[in-house]
């Protein structure tokens, strides 16, 4: 029987081991590399090699603690690690090995490779959902290759599109129909993610199955090989399924009203944000202590928008909502800070003007700092319990937690954002 162990914590992954590796974990004392275990037969080694994997023998101390505990309940254990880029998780597939374990290893490799293909394909769809403009203007051209069995598709986007495998005569799809599917690929992704539309899902699958340019095994290598480590991290975030993670969000996000005016100081305003944690019969609220006052204003704007619109939210451009931002800022902090301070924050949020040697220089405003503030505070309070991405916002991404997970006082729900 093949079992799974999952973790979102990168600190507990098996250090230095590539994903396409079968690890044989000995049942007892530390094991010397290169020394043969009597349960590792020649046939087993051949099976591992034939699958394109390598076989290593490790001490259990190299494993995450919980995984090592599970392995200790078995005799000889095979472990195959995989980073699921679509879920932001490290997954370890484990199975007990008998003396002749070739069938078990074949099954283990099959499960791993199937999950790897699904991860790559899902990540591509998530990337299209989370960053549609980038996907449309950049991703397709990166994946494009010359067709081997049919003519190259004419460009239907702003750049070259993937070419397609030859289509058999008895198949209903034609090259022209495939071009039409690519044209509505992004619309289908949005529809499928937000409504689970079966026809949209089937059309997405048709494009991915017939594309020569977008392959399960190569797309990550093709794309990530050209990226800096910093951008690669951002790319991985775009590939995670924020929408599905959001549907399973454990926490409620609650905006509470402070009734004690003596507490109105610093970044604790008339309204403040809490995470509501339910542990059995115990319910407790954890206040989110943002570093900057405007951070709370920005985050509450997104919470109100999500609560009001649900899955129909679009990305919020703060430039179009400065009046609403100002009104909310006054509702939260107006009772105890000077109006001039509020005006100063508002003037700097989109563009910031600096006087350098008598020359007025404008640069991007402080909004990015507020998004980073939100991200850091959520990481601190959530990341050990679940993936915090559905709770985060930025210039491109809205909240994906259900609107039912958000509680906001009626006074604030009067605000509307574009």
Residues 75 and 175 in one domain: no
Q: Is residue 343 part of a domain?
A: yes
Residues 261 and 229 in one domain: no
Instruction: Using the 3D structure, point to which of 198, 221, 240 is the last residue of a domain.
Output: 240
Using the structure block, give the residue that is written with the tokens 């690519």.
182
Which has more confidence, 42 or 183?
183
Q: Which domain holds residue 367?
A: 245-414
- What's the pLDDT tens digit per position in 4-14? 888 776 666 66
pLDDT for 357? 63
Instruction: Using the 3D structure, point to which of 240, 256, 271 is the last residue of a domain.
Output: 240
Mean pLDDT of 137-165: 41
Of the pLDDT bands very low, low, confident and very high (cuts 50, 70, 90), residue 32 is very low
Q: What percent of the chain lies above the pLDDT cut of 70?
A: 71
Residues 97 and 210 in one domain: no
Residues 318 and 368 in one domain: yes
Residues 85 and 144 in one domain: no
Residues 359 and 212 in one domain: no
Long-range contact set of residues 285-291: C-beta below 8 Å, sequence gap at least 24: 285/254, 285/256, 286/381, 288/377, 288/378, 288/381, 289/377, 290/373, 290/374, 290/377, 291/267, 291/373, 291/376, 291/377
- What's the pLDDT tens digit per position in 325-369? 889 999 999 877 777 777 777 777 766 555 556 655 555 578 889
Residues 9 and 105 in one domain: yes
Residues 189 and 65 in one domain: no
For residue 146, what are its two tokens? Answer: 């010359």
Which has more confidence, 348 or 221?
348
Q: Is residue 123 part of a domain?
A: no
Q: Is residue 119 part of a domain?
A: no
Which has more confidence, 342 or 184?
184
pLDDT for 60? 66
pLDDT at 132 over 70: yes
Q: Is residue 359 part of a domain?
A: yes
Q: What percent of the chain lies above the pLDDT cut of 90?
A: 21
Mean pLDDT of 205-233: 63
pLDDT for 340? 75
pLDDT at 407 over 70: yes
Q: Is residue 126 part of a domain?
A: no
Instruction: Using the 3D structure, point to which of 188, 209, 240 is the last residue of a domain.
Output: 240
Residues 328 and 382 in one domain: yes
Q: Is residue 179 part of a domain?
A: yes
pLDDT at 244 over 80: yes
Of the pLDDT bands very low, low, confident and very high (cuts 50, 70, 90), residue 88 is confident
Residues 91 and 140 in one domain: no
Q: Is residue 404 part of a domain?
A: yes
Q: Is residue 263 part of a domain?
A: yes
Instruction: Please give the Cα distance from 151 to 222 (Å, whole number).
Output: 23
pLDDT at 156 over 50: no
User: Of 192-206, 339-353, 379-393, which range is least confident?
Assistant: 339-353
Q: How many domains does the chain have?
A: 3
Using the structure block, give the residue that is written with the tokens 């990015």.
368
Which has more confidence, 134 or 203?
203
pLDDT at 296 over 80: yes
The predicted model scores a pTM of 0.68
pLDDT at 294 over 60: yes
Q: How does the average pLDDT of the chain come out, rounded?
A: 77
pLDDT for 300? 97
Residues 136 and 105 in one domain: no
Residues 230 and 268 in one domain: no
């Amino acid at each position: 029987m093949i079992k799974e162990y999952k973790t979102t914590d990168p600190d507990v992954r098996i250090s230095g081991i590539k994903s396409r590796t079968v690890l044989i974990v000995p049942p007892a004392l530390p094991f010397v590399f290169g020394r043969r275990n009597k349960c590792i037969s020649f046939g087993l080694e051949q099976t591992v090699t034939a699958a394109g994997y390598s076989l290593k023998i490790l001490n259990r101390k190299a494993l995450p603690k919980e995984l090592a505990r599970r392995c200790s309940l078995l005799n000889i254990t095979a472990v195959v690690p995989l980073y699921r880029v679509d879920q932001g998780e490290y997954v370890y597939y484990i199975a007990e090995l008998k003396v002749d374990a070739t069938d078990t290893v074949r099954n283990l490799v099959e499960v791993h490779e199937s999950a790897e293909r699904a991860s790559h394909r899902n990540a591509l769809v998530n990337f299209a959902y989370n960053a549609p403009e980038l996907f449309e203007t950049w991703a397709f051209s990166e994946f494009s290759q010359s067709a081997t069995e049919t003519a190259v598709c004419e460009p239907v986007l702003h750049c070259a599109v993937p070419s397609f495998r030859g289509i058999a005569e008895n198949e209903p799809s034609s090259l022209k129909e495939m071009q039409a599917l690519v044209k509505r690929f992004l619309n289908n992704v949005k529809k499928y993610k937000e409504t689970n539309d079966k026809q949209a899902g089937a059309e997405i699958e048709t494009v991915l199955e017939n594309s020569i340019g977008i392959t399960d095994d190569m797309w990550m290598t093709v794309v990530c090989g050209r990226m800096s480590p910093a951008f690669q991290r951002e790319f991985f975030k775009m590939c995670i399924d924020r929408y599905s993670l959001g549907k399973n969000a454990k926490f409620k996000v609650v905006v509470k009203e402070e009734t004690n005016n003596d507490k109105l100081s610093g970044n604790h305003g008339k309204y403040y944000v809490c995470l509501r944690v339910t542990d059995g019969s115990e319910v407790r609220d954890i206040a989110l202590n943002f570093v900057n006052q405007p951070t709370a204003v920005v985050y509450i704007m997104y919470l109100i928008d999500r609560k009001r619109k649900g899955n129909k939210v679009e990305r919020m451009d703060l430039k179009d909502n400065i009046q609403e931002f100002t009104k909310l800022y006054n509702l939260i902090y107006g009772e105890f800070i000077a109006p001039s301070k509020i005006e100063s924050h508002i003037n700097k949020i989109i563009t910031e003007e600096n006087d350098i040697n008598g020359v007025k220089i404008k640069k991007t405003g402080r909004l990015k700092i507020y998004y980073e503030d939100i991200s850091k505070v959520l990481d601190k309070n959530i990341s050990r319990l679940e993936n915090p991405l559905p709770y985060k916002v930025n210039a491109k991404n809205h909240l994906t937690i259900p609107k039912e997970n958000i509680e906001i006082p009626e006074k604030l729900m009067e605000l509307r954002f574009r």
